[in-house]
Amino acid sequence: MAPGNVVAPLFTVTNPVGAQQHNIAEENIAPGQTKYPPLWGIIKVTFKAGVKPHLITSYAQIKKAQAAGKVTIIKTPLVVNCPVV
């Protein structure tokens, strides 16, 4: 990491409902936009015990599940350099 590097959050579900679950970026972070970085900080999203996992497709759904006490969110020290397509 160089000074001044921007790192955006990238959410990954640790216990997904199936193979169709993809990583999730916050809204308005996409190639061509001013907030788009090449570096992503990995944040783990885990459904709590007793909660039936379901497909999560947006940052808004992550926030809603967290507010409802259905998931835990843990920021990791891992930073990856990967494009979003």
Dump pLDDT digits (tens) for 15-62: 999 889 999 988 777 777 777 788 899 999 999 999 999 999 999 999
> Does residue 1 sit within a domain?
no
Task: Give the pLDDT confidence score for residue 41 in this predicted structure.
Answer: 94
Query: Could you tell me if residue 2 is inside a domain?
Result: no
Burial 44-83 (b: 16+ CB within 10 A, else e): bbbbeeeeebeebeebebbeebeeeebbeeeeeeeeeeee
Domain that holds residue 44: 7-81
54 found inside a domain: yes
pTM: 0.87
pLDDT at residue 79, rounded to an integer: 94
Amino acid type, 53:
P
**Number of domains the chain contains:** 1
Q: What are phi and psi of 38, to 5 degrees?
A: -85, -15
